[in-house]
Amino acid sequence: MSDTSTISAVRDYFIELQTAICNTMEAEDGEAQFTQENIETPEGGLSRPRVIDNGPVLERGAVQFSHSKGASLPPAASQRNPELAGKGFEATAISMIMHPRNPFAPTFHANLRFFLVDDSYWHFGGGFDLTPFYPFAEDVLHWHQVAKDACDPFGAELYPRFKEWCDEYFVLTHRQEPRGVGGLFFDDWHEDGFEKSFALTRSIGDAILQAYLPILQRRKDTAYGDRQREFQLYRRGRYAEFNLAIDRGTQYGIQSGRRIESVLASMPPVAIWKYNWTPEPGSPEAVLYDEYLKPRDWLTELT
């Protein structure tokens, strides 16, 4: 297996996945459509940003594919492996986020990536996580069951391992607050060789729509008012904080010189911040904080 065929196979899968997710989300929205851009780089890379805006269901969505090449890894990619600093690399990735209009429909994020460094080192990474504003137990249970089902063929230990990794990563450390109810996260993954690692990555990628679409379909038409909309926008502010202050993918995109419009397309289109605000005890908004913004064994506790 040559390096060229290795990254080509991953790249082809990510492009196919991008197309499938965009087509499905366009159909679900019913009106808005994703942009169609193909941007080639001087180094031989390719960026395919796909952004949907101002739809009746999807207020903002982004499904981004990139294949990049460089002479030196950015710090965000080499800080955990200092021995790789300064080496040439290729990377291909798909990342996505959906910000539904309805406050009862959760935001979701997913990404998958593959790095090949200086013809001597490779790894996969990625996962998916859910960020509800008004959470429903059946939605969270479904999300985590699909996540577990995607991992189980590759070892019963992987779901709890990736879930814990997700719980540890998606935390606003400056607030000591989880971003949402988690899911899966893995990084620097090359256990058991390329073929098995790639198969695991495909299984997680193929589970993205299975995990999210039923939830969106259940919640997208729920009636809501100004109170629910304002809380949604307030919690979107937390999402923006994480992306700008903590997320390694955003840092990598900025450091590697990627097109900034593509890097920041995952940001919510509208968000607000309130000074020193806390939800009223016993309110529907307080349920998020009291019951869901904490690591839990969802599959045991919600069944």
Residues forming the active site: 109
Q: What is the dihedral of CA 250, 85, 117, 202, to 10 degrees?
A: -30
Distance CA 203, CA 245 (A): 30
Q: What's phi and psi for 116, nearest 5 deg? A: -125, 115
**Contact between residue 58 and residue 25 where contact means Cβ atoms under 8 Å apart:** yes
DSSP 210-276: HHHHHHHHHHTT----HHHHHHHHHHHHHHHHHHHHT-HHHHHHHHTT--HHHHGGGS-SS----TT
Report helix, strand or coil for 31. coil
Strands 39-40 and 46-53: antiparallel
Distance CA 183, CA 132 (A): 12
Residue 20: which of 212, 221, 261 has the closest Cα?
212
Helix (H) or strand (E) holding 22: helix 3-29
Distance CA 62, CA 50 (A): 6
**Contact between residue 97 and residue 108 where contact means Cβ atoms under 8 Å apart:** yes
Distance CA 1, CA 175 (A): 46
